[in-house]
A and B are shown apart, each in its own frame.
Chain A
């Protein structure tokens, strides 16, 4: 019987995990321990629902409703001095919860504080663009769409950014294998030579350890050059490394090791 492989998450998994092993947690602390974060959180809480808030590794994490994302970021930018959106992207939780988690990493240069705003959306749900507030979101949201297929509403140019326009599939989803699917495997061959060339060019070699060292038709090894197609499975002649042919080259002076200068100190 074939081993069952889960289809909803095809990423690498640990082959052995101790049954009784409980993963430790990165320490979370209360927001109230930090005066700046407390004030910021109070400002958000005054207008919006906050599902969860804590401080982890010196940064405040605030979980909000996905519908509030634009308004919360607007509040943070205009009233709480978080003037830069340094990063935003999504995390794929489709396998466990059927949702994408979207995080916005904010930076306040005057307060020297960083806040992460998080929200969750369903697989087929779209999220509001924050490109009007932060131009940097223009490209981040395109990248998010490219990698996860999360559609962003009110975005000026919702197209793929990293992958080609005619690409199929969303590479960073957990259902997408690392080495690509059938479409990815033949992409360049189909595009350049056409589907009929698939058989001639052959499948990709995805095994980095595959070497045929007796193949003298396609490869020759430096220092062991032999005539085309020689059988070297029984051993091979050793050819010394030469920079020029033994008999010399027409109109080119032969390199003389005796006359060359060796510089021992590289810094003059």
Chain B
């Protein structure tokens, strides 16, 4: 029995007296292959799209407004919920931006742990991308395989910080915890299997006729279009621009590790798929190298800056002044200097930037989150026209958009 309410049916897609035979199709906002809450208004001639109009904002939760009303440390868990597939990379972007603002240097062990977390998150994100895209196109087996591997990575992160999805595992000025005892052995055990796992997926997909038909020469993004739309990450590299912030503007320890940046000049769905697979291999390579760096670093985990960062727990418990500082920092929050920064990092999706305008108070005056997926959704406006209805799903799949990040 239905409860009465004021909602009336939409008549957008039923127009009775149109002469041009154009159909307006409403896709979303709750569509199983829209990767979240994307709403697309598609104008169709037969099955071909003539005009696409993405409608976003269905997951707009007001994060930028929240940031203006929160002290810097308080905002850290909120960043988790942006790109919730790879939370630590959001944490890291924010932590790095605030560290640049106050001019902090992080101890080496913290850097190593951050690198581990970032790359584990990249693997998690790419596996998730593979799983969902394959599922959308109909490859259920790959979905199950990729999720199985992703669970092992989540176990690793869970061993480290206790959370599966929303980690909040990075603090401003370092990391809160040292690695647990079995972390490195588990990680290496996992990494040893990565190449053969990726080979499994590729065996299933690479030569698959359906996969090729849905992927090859579909959703071609030209170099000019990618640059003009502010694309970043794999979306940009698949269009022939060699630009990886890890390589070009290295942060953390990325200048000490050896890795390649895979690039393709095809610009279609298949190129993006191949780049994701190649990036997973590179991530595993980075993880091996970073795991070797861990041994022999000093045990310090947080930067020493009493004005901004609380002292280690032992000092708080034993020294009066450290306790007072901690109390002030927790209740009032740190006060970074007056100024503004824009710090980009290479998140699994692309360029994740934090613009912070600080007026010397404990709350940021303005915090702008530059999330890559926002523009990767926008590009659908120009990308979809000319394609057919089934291509929409595979194109949305390979753009790898996450709506926590698009709408913020």
Contacts and interface: CB of A to CB of B under 8 A. Distances in A.
- Chain B binds chain A: yes
A135 B375 CA distance: 9
B78 to A, nearest CB: 12
Interface stretch (A42-50, A190-198, A240-248, A255-263): A190-198
A192 B193 CA distance: 52
A59 B100 CA distance: 12
A86 B228 contact: no
Interface in A167-203: 171-172, 176, 178, 191-194
B374 interface: yes
Contact of B6 (A27, A86, A194): A194
B183 interface: no
Contact of A135 (B100, B229, B374): B229
Interface residues of B, number: 65
Contacts of A161: 56-57
B64 interface: yes
B7 A87 contact: no
Interface stretch (A11-19, A121-129, A211-219, A222-230): A11-19
Given A11-B69, A135-B225, A26 B353 contact: no
Contact of B155 (A14, A103, A266): A266
B240 to A, nearest CB: 12
Contacts of A160: 57
A25 interface: yes
A162 B228 contact: no
Contacts of B62: 171, 178
B378 to A, nearest CB: 4
A57 B98 CA distance: 12
Contact of B65 (A27, A85, A103, A172): A172
B229 A136 contact: yes
A134 interface: yes
Contact of A136 (B151, B228, B339): B228
Nearest to A191: B6
A89 B368 contact: yes
Contacts of A61: 340
B375 A136 contact: yes
5 contacts: A25-B337, A86-B232, A89-B355, A135-B378, A136-B228
Given A136-B375, A136-B378, 20 more contacts: A11-B363, A14-B332, A14-B333, A24-B338, A26-B338, A26-B340, A57-B343, A59-B342, A89-B355, A91-B365, A109-B248, A134-B230, A135-B230, A135-B382, A162-B407, A178-B68, A192-B6, A193-B5, A267-B186, A267-B193
Interface of B: 5-7, 56-57, 60, 62, 64-66, 68-70, 100-101, 103, 151-152, 155, 186, 189-190, 193, 225, 227-230, 232, 241, 243, 248-249, 332-333, 335, 337-344, 351, 353, 355, 357-363, 365-366, 368, 370, 374-375, 378-379, 381-382, 407
